[in-house]
Structure 1
Amino acid sequence: MRADKAWSRTGRIGAVLAATVLVTGAAVVPAGADGRSPGSDGFTIQDPRITESSGLAASRAHPGVYWTHNDSDDGAYLYAIDGRTGKTVATLTLTGIGSPRDVEAISIGPDGDLYVGDIGDNLGGSWDHVWIYRLPEPKELRDQTVRATQYVVKYADGPRNAESLMVHPKTGRVYIVEKGEDGGGLYEGPARLSTAGTNTFRRVADIDLWATDAAFSPDGKQLAVRGYFGGVSYAWNDGRPKREGQLSVPMQPQGESVTYTPDGRTLLYGSEGKGSSVRPVEVEGAGSGAGTGTPGTGSDESGGDGGAGITGKAGAVGAAVLLIVAVGIGRLTRRSKRG
């Protein structure tokens, strides 16, 4: 979501968010450091070029490194961030593709390739196609130019706005979650992406969240979907997601990204903004396994502890307050895009 004009008002938004936290009593449990993947304690992005970090993916080849990118049409660049220091250790310039239009997500497949989702639609779902870029994760971390493969993507039921792209860590299949204020669809791509023609993504499930990013657990058994003020955890259930509960998502100025640490024990949540922080939340019950626990602390039962979660059907007073704020930011951003 492009926020260049809206960003000047972030101070007021941040104040509202702080007040909202007090209203809801939302709590975030920080991840511990002992025996965990590097970066599990979170970090602050130091690179002044990264002002709209909109996607996050844990490196497979370089432990402790996290890939991110700026939103919208910043250019064909990816940044490798050291999770220990928050400093950029490599910048990739992509070739072999056109001009990026609205880059919103990044994921890593079981083949070790990076998948970049140029899937946002600032025109509200009117572009007849979007793109996915695929490139090998470099073996050496240094500034370099990497050739990427570009795939054309369309949706079977018409144009969509989306900010979430995930590659399943076992099957390699690519999925996209639609971004809708009242929730959206989970779209499944073909078994293998093709450069020969259009790759049609088909709706296979509903996602009850205004989604800004999503991530599979390393074992592929869990799907975590985040929004601006909360998230939902799903059991993947062989491609038929079953809702399990709400995620305890930290309050952030403009929460746009989420990824699992490689050990599956922590979810890292990122935000747009210069010098933005990536904040950790433990995966409940994961223990020493790779993503075998439930990625959240909230209960999905009525009257239970919902953490910081808010979904498209939130009915609690605290969640309603969050929803009002979220809609306000959505309208603010849409106005800024038209300006």
Structure 2
Amino acid sequence: MLLLGATVLGLVASGSTAARADEPVTVCAIDDPRLAELSGLTVHEDRWYAVNDGGSRIEVFVLDRECQVRDVIVSPTDPYDVEDLAVAPDGTLWLGDTGDNRKQRQTVALHAVSPQGGSVLYRLTYPDGPHDAEALLLDRAGKPYIVTKSSMGQSAVYTPRGELTSPGPTPLEQVGTLGFSTTDTPGGPVGTVGTMAVTGAASTADGSVLALRTYTDAYLYPAPDGDVVAALRRPPIRIPLPGEQQGEAIAFTDDGTLLSASEGIGSPVRAVSGATARVGDATVSATPNPPADNGGDGGGTTTRFEAEAGADGASVGVEAGGEPEQDGKGMQTLPGILLAMTIAGLAMLGISRARR
């Protein structure tokens, strides 16, 4: 594993800067019943591309900017659980077939789909057993990064170890871990737990800004050199996305607007104009967070760094920022999380059973 200094990635999102922005504005609504379980969205030139959660064949829906389906790119390949979508500079669409709510898959997959409908399957294996993941990033060179989903707010980041081979499997390696804390943004299907669960990802066309989203918030990271690992170590800008029923889709347009959308027929696609410019304004002097064993303060944020097990098998953790984080109602984060997890358990089970 590639360690970042002496640590893996460790930025807790609650220590991020909340963007000073208006609430997202509705652009249009997706009424097509074929996209009732919208889970991935990306933009290439003047077209929007969207994928559904799951499905028995590959289907990528081509939308205009009024949310109307203009075409469907189809491949006969039967995926297991498609959760996210990204586009390479050459227009190739990459589908993240990485959903695994019950954590039982021996392999996950990426599907590289051409605009004409041809597809190539790449199977992948985790080094440490099954994970559920709903977020896929591509760097400037087209290298994929998978970010896992966790109700406890600890998301691992994986990338292929070496070149992708078809059909594979190609082994993955873990390059870091991100920690997310609860926020007070309303929305999502499972309450407070959903504010920490990563459900989607996106990058700008030039790879200079990355985004991860939960059911309720988006986190934007500056990547001036296109380095995904370095970007995820920097303090992000948090943009609240309140009121989304089950928000999983996120994308950037060419002018730096952030788009977000939720599952559900008639759910709106919403826009935050100038989102990427706010990242530049807020992080112009930001540097990657110092490693935990250097005693850094996490870039001035309340941050928890977690190192991978060292040679002696010990795990190292350093907490910066003093007292435990509290939510808007004064409840300490850990008790709040445990209570929310108890309440949300049945809801998460219902979502799991509803998916393949």
Query: Rg: which structure is higher?
Result: 2
- Which residue number in structure 2 is paired with residue 159 of structure 1? 130
Equivalent position of 2:296 in the other structure? none
Structure 1 residue aligned with 2:188 = none
The 2-side partners of 1:115 and 1:80 are apart by 14
**Counterpart residue number, 1:308:** none
Structure 1 residues 112 and 167 mapped into 2: Cα distance closer, same or farther (>3 Å)?
Answer: same
Report the TM-score, using the length of structure 1 for normalisation. 0.71
Q: Quote how far apart the aligned CAs of 1:328 are.
A: 4.4
Q: 1:113 to 1:132 in 2, by over 3 A?
A: same
2:347 match:
332
Runs (5+) with no aligned partner, structure 1: 1-24, 33-40, 139-145, 304-312
Number of residue-to-residue matches in the alignment: 275
TM-score (norm 2): 0.68
Aligned partner of 1:46 in structure 2 is 31
One of 310, 317, 324 as aligned partner of 2:328: 317
2:248 is equivalent to residue 266 of structure 1: no
Which of 53, 56, 68 is equivalent to 1:71?
A: 53
Measure the CA separation in 2 of the matches of 1:151 and 1:235: 29
Deviation, 1:250, is 1.4
Q: Percent identity between the aligned chains?
A: 27
Letter of the 1:68 counterpart: A
Which residue is equivalent to 1:56? 41
2:147 is equivalent to residue 177 of structure 1:
yes
1:188 matched to 2:159? The reply is yes
Q: Deviations over 1:301-322 (max 9, x none)?
A: 669xxxxxxxxx9632259699
1:59 CA displacement: 2.0
Distance 1:279 1:44, change over 3 A: same
1:49 is paired with a residue whose SS is helix
For residues 163 and 281 of structure 2, the distance between their equivalents in structure 1, rounded to whole angstroms, comes to 29
Q: Write the deviation string for residues 116-140 of structure 1: whole angstroms up to 9, x where unpaired.
A: 11110021x22110111111124xx
- Report matched runs for 1:58-137 at 5 Å: 58-60=43-45, 63=46, 65-73=47-55, 75-83=57-65, 85-95=66-76, 97=77, 99-123=78-102, 125-137=103-115
1:86 partner letter: C
Structure 1 counterpart of 2:294: none
Rounded Cα–Cα distance in structure 1 between residues aligned with 2:23 and 2:328? 26
Structure 1 residue 189 displacement after superposition: 2.1
C-alpha separation in 1, matches of 2:67 and 2:58: 21
Q: CA deviation at 1:283?
A: 3.9
Q: Quote the residue 2:187 is aligned against.
A: none
In 2, Cα distance between equivalents of 1:150 and 1:196 = 5
SS at match of 1:268: strand
